[in-house]
């Protein structure tokens, strides 16, 4: 099913609005909501909703769409509870074609009882190139042949972290353009089936070129805000593309993305205090971009009409990111904001910086946070405190780090629980309405006349029904169906 903005009227008959009365009819015209009311009299094709719920469609505020599309096809090692367990999953997997590597995704070694090493993989697979990408994307574990595949010579462990790994991602992520584009289209269809109408794509790539190519090849299923990285910034500035400008079709220019620190699972998020049990020069994590470079870069982007999306996970990195917003005058978001000092919660609000957060990470990371951020987790994933301070939240997945499914994110934000476990720091939960409002790109839950006809049709009331597995009956983007199951 393809998104084609409708140029004729379509009447959705008999809807129940999540934030309003029902039943009502919703008239869509030229890709926008033209009228909302009971028993509209319009000579137009009709779709009977039979009392289904309708609300604005959902956005994922942080994805790496190509990596998500690739990860959906890779060996899943996310369930590994030890290095030995991960090796057993690799040993049982089909061998890759000659000249390629066996790529897995999702391991999290923060709580493993044994250390991942190249020698462990070598003993199981011999000279087969194996590269396992961590669930947080900040490190990779290779066999000796896998390290050679990446262009790495002798390495003491086979575990590549941060600056050792990030420049090498392309070696496993690169596939022919037509293959990548088909996989992204398939992943976009799966997202549409979960009610997603738009994503902020922060893939590490020349996203302007990538999305122009994709838009020329096939109509998009989603709205896309294409982020830009520093190495591609000159091109965006040269073309005078501002955040929000149309690149092609449903694709617009997104923010400048900068990664300033690492991650919790890799123990490289930059913190004020050392990680529990760690010593040495990186015991507080890794600062990848110092303030002397960050603030001028952000000011340059702001002068050219770009918002900034600054990756900061540790509390020290968040403080420095907020310093840079203050000194540069840039607008935008901190991406992740996983550990925040209490005084910086208030600074988020005072500076008008959006907290772009991924609630499912709290469920993935609660145990590793309790170990390595011991005594600090009352201000970890502090969605409730941020919201109470007046900070705008934008929910996302960071797919492939978590699934591209906004209902999963909303549930994690609301329940602070998964798999029947007790809620983790329930004082930092937000209520359903807030979580849903933080997932619709600032539109609120009202189906408003004049708004884009980007809607989701549900078989259950999202204000009361179970959130994980929410039954999505249909999704429309610009008035065209991108998913319909009724």
Burial label for 444, CB within 10 Å (0-12, 13-18, 19+), is middle
Q: What is the distance between the alpha carbons of residues 312 and 390, in angstroms, rounded to a whole number?
A: 20
The CA distances from residue 23 to 14, 33, 37, 407, in Å, are 5, 16, 8, 24
Report residue 350 as tokens: 């005072």
pLDDT at 4: 47
Q: Which residue has the tokens 């429309």?
A: 476
> In which residue ranges of the chain is pLDDT below 50?
1-6
Which DSSP symbol is given to 113? S
Give per-residue pLDDT as tens, 202-223. Answer: 999 999 999 999 999 999 899 9
pLDDT at 7: 52
pLDDT at 5: 47
The CA distances from residue 76 to 89, 93, 296, in Å, are 8, 10, 40
Q: What is the distance between the alpha carbons of residues 378 and 339, in angstroms, rounded to a whole number?
A: 9
Q: What is the distance between the alpha carbons of residues 49 and 173, in angstroms, rounded to a whole number?
A: 41
Closest C-alpha among 173, 157, 69, 59 to residue 117: 157
β-pairing, 354-357 vs 332-336, is: parallel
Q: What is the distance between the alpha carbons of residues 476 and 33, in angstroms, rounded to a whole number?
A: 11
187 with 74: CB under 8 angstroms? no
Closest C-alpha among 164, 65, 144, 67 to residue 106: 67
pLDDT at 173: 85
pLDDT at 153: 87
């Amino acid at each position: 099913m393809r998104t084609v903005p409708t140029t004729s009227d379509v009447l959705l008959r008999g809807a129940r609005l999540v934030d309003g009365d029902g039943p009502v009819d919703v008239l869509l015209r030229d890709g926008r909501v033209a009228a909302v009311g009971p028993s509209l009299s319009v000579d137009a094709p009709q779709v009977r909703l039979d009392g289904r719920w309708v609300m604005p469609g959902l956005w994922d505020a942080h994805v790496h769409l190509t990596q998500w599309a690739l990860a959906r096809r890779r060996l899943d090692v996310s369930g590994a509870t030890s290095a030995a367990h991960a090796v057993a999953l690799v040993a049982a997997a089909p061998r890759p074609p000659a000249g390629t590597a066996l790529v897995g995704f999702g391991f999290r070694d923060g709580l493993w009882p044994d250390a991942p090493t190249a020698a462990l993989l070598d003993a199981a697979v011999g000279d087969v190139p194996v590269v396992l990408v961590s669930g947080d994307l900040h490190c990779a574990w290779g066999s000796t042949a896998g390290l050679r595949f990446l262009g790495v010579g002798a390495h003491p462990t086979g575990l590549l972290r941060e600056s050792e790994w990030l420049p090498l991602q392309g070696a496993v992520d690169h596939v022919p353009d037509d293959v990548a584009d088909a996989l992204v289209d398939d992943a976009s269809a799966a997202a549409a089936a979960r009610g997603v109408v738009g994503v902020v794509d922060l893939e590490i790539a020349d996203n302007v070129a990538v999305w122009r190519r994709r838009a020329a090849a096939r109509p998009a299923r989603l709205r896309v805000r294409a982020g830009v990285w520093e190495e591609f910034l000159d091109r965006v500035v040269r073309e005078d593309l501002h955040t929000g400008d149309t690149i092609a079709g449903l694709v617009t220019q997104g923010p400048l993305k900068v990664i300033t620190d690492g991650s919790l699972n890799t123990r490289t998020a930059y913190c004020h205090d050392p990680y529990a049990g760690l010593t040495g020069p990186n015991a507080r994590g890794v600062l990848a971009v110092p303030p002397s470079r960050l603030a001028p870069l952000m000011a340059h982007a702001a002068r050219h009409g770009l918002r900034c999306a600054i990756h900061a996970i540790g509390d020290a990195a968040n403080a420095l990111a907020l310093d840079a917003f203050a000194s540069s005058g840039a607008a935008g978001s901190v991406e992740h904001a996983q550990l925040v000092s209490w005084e910086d919660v208030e600074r988020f609000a005072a500076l008008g910086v959006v907290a772009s957060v991924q609630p499912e990470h709290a469920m993935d990371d609660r145990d590793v946070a309790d170990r390595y951020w011991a005594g600090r987790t009352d201000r970890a994933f502090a969605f409730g405190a941020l919201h109470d301070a007046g900070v705008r939240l934008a929910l996302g997945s960071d797919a492939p780090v978590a699934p591209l499914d906004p209902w999963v994110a909303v549930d994690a934000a609301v329940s602070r629980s998964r798999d029947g476990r007790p809620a983790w720091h329930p004082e930092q939960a937000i209520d359903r309405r807030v979580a849903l409002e933080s997932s619709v790109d600032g539109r609120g839950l009202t189906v408003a006349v004049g708004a884009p006809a980007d809607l989701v049709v549900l078989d259950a009331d999202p204000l009361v029904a179970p959130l994980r597995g929410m039954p999505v009956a249909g999704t429309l983007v610009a008035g065209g169906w991108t998913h319909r199951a009724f």
